[in-house]
Chains A and B, each alone.
Chain A
Amino acid sequence: MEIFIAQLISGLSLGSIYVLLVTGFNLMLLVAKIIQFAYPQIVVISMYTCWWALKITSNKLLIIIAGITVSVALSLLSEPIFRKISSIKDVDINATFIASMGIAMIMMDVMSHSFNYGFPVAFPPKWIGGNILSFGLITISKGQLFALVGGVIAVSVFFYLLYRTNQGRFFRAIAENRLAAELVGIPITKTSIFSYFIVGILGGFSAILFSMLIGSASPWLGEFVALKMLAVSIVAGLGNLHGGLVCGLLLGIIEAIAVGYISGSWSNVIAFVIMLAVILIKPEGLFGTKI
Chain B
Amino acid sequence: MSEVLYYFLGFSAIYILMGWALYLPYRVGQLNYLIVACMAITAYFGGFAAREWNWPFPVILIIGIMISTIIGLIFSQAIGKAPCFTVVIVGLTSVFIVKTVIENWKLLGGTVGFFHIPNVNGMLIIIYGLLILVGFLIYRIDHSRWGRAASVVFVDKDVAVSLGVDIKKIGMFFQIVSCAIAGMAGTLDAFLVRSLSPEFFTFGMIGYLMCILFVGGYTTMWGVIFSAFFLQGIPLMFPSSIASWRQVIYGALLVLIILLRPEGIITRKMLWRMKPKAYFPVNTQIKNSKS
* B is bound to A: yes
> Contact between A223 and B203 (Cβ–Cβ < 8 Å)?
yes
By the criterion CB–CB under 8 Å, are B92 and A230 in contact?
yes
**Is B202 a contact of A109 with CB atoms below 8 Å?**
no
Asked if A265 and B104 make an inter-chain contact with CB atoms under 8 angstroms apart, the answer reads yes
B244 at the interface (CB under 8 A from A): yes
User: Which of the segments A50-58, A93-101, A140-148 contacts the partner chain?
Assistant: A93-101
A residues less than 8 Å from B93 (CB atoms): 227, 231, 272, 275-276, 279
The 7 closest A-B pairs by CB, nearest first: A102-B254, A105-B251, A109-B247, A106-B251, A280-B78, A102-B255, A283-B82
Among A95, A98, A281, residue most surrounded by chain B Cβ atoms (within 10 Å): A98
The reply on B286 being an interface residue by CB < 8 A is no
Q: B96 within 8 Å of A by Cβ?
A: yes
CB neighbours (8 Å) of A234 from chain B are 85-86, 89
Q: Is A81 an interface residue (CB 8 A)?
A: yes
Tell me whether A91 and B100 are in contact (CB under 8 A): no
Across the interface, do B89 and A230 meet the contact criterion of CB distance under 8 Å?
yes
List A268-291 residues whose CB lies under 8 Å from chain B.
268-269, 272-273, 275-276, 279-281, 283-284
Residue B262, interface by CB 8 Å: yes
Q: Are A272 and B96 in contact (CB under 8 A)?
A: yes
Q: Which of B78, B86, B255 contacts A99 (CB 8 A)?
A: B255
CB atoms of A101 and B254 under 8 A apart: yes
A283 near B79 with CB under 8 A, answer: yes
Looking at the assembled complex, report how far the CB atom of A88 sits from the nearest CB atom of chain B, in whole angstroms: 6
Contact indicator B100/A279 (Cβ below 8 Å): no
Chain B interface SS verdict (over half): helix
A101–B253 CA distance with the chains assembled, in angstroms: 11
Task: Please report which residues of chain A, range 176-224, place their CB below 8 angstroms from some CB of chain B when the two chains form the complex.
Answer: 223
Q: Binary interface profile of B, 193-221, with partner A (CB < 8 Å = 1, else 0)? A: 00000000011101100110010000000
Q: How far is the CB of B31 from chain A (nearest CB, A)?
A: 7
| In the assembled complex, A17 has its CB within 8 A of some CB on chain B | no
- Interface flags for A98-126 (1: CB within 8 Å of B; 0: not) read 11011111101110010000000000000
In chain B, positions 76-93 with a C-beta closer than 8 Å to chain A are 78-79, 82-86, 88-90, 92-93
- In the complex, what's the smallest C-beta–C-beta distance from B30 to chain A, in angstroms? 10
B126 within 8 A of A: no
Q: Does A14 make an interface contact (CB < 8 A)?
A: no
Q: Are B29 and A283 in contact (CB under 8 A)?
A: no
Given A227-B93, A230-B89, A266-B100, also A105-B254 (CB < 8 A): yes
* B: number of interface residues (CB 8 Å): 44
Say whether A6 faces chain B, with CB atoms less than 8 Å apart.
no
Q: Are B96 and A227 neighbours in the complex by a CB distance under 8 Å?
A: yes
Quick check: is B271 within 8 A (CB to CB) of the other chain? no
Min CB gap A37→B, angstroms? 9
- Give the distance in Å from the alpha carbon of A265 to the alpha carbon of B103 in the complex: 9
Neighbour of A283 across the interface among B86, B214, B247, CB < 8 A: B86
Within 152-173 of B, Cβ neighbours of A (below 8 Å) are at none
Contact A81 B90 (CB under 8 A): no
Is the C-beta of B248 less than 8 angstroms from some C-beta in chain A? Answer: yes
- In whole angstroms, how far apart are the Cα atoms of A88 and B88 in the complex? 23
Q: Is the CB of A101 within 8 A of B207?
A: yes
> Is there an interface contact between A231 and B89, defined as CB atoms closer than 8 Å?
yes
A266 in contact with B104 (CB, 8 Å): yes
Residue B245 is within 8 A (CB to CB) of chain A in the complex: yes
What chain B residues lie within 8 Å of A223 (beta carbons)? 202-203
CB <8 Å contact, A279 and B86? yes
B100 with A268: CB separation less than 8 A: yes
Select A230's contact among B88, B245, B248, B251, beta carbons within 8 Å: B88
Given contacts A35-B85, A105-B247, A230-B92, contact A273 B254 (CB under 8 A): no
> How far is A110 from B252 in the complex, measured between Cα atoms in Å?
12
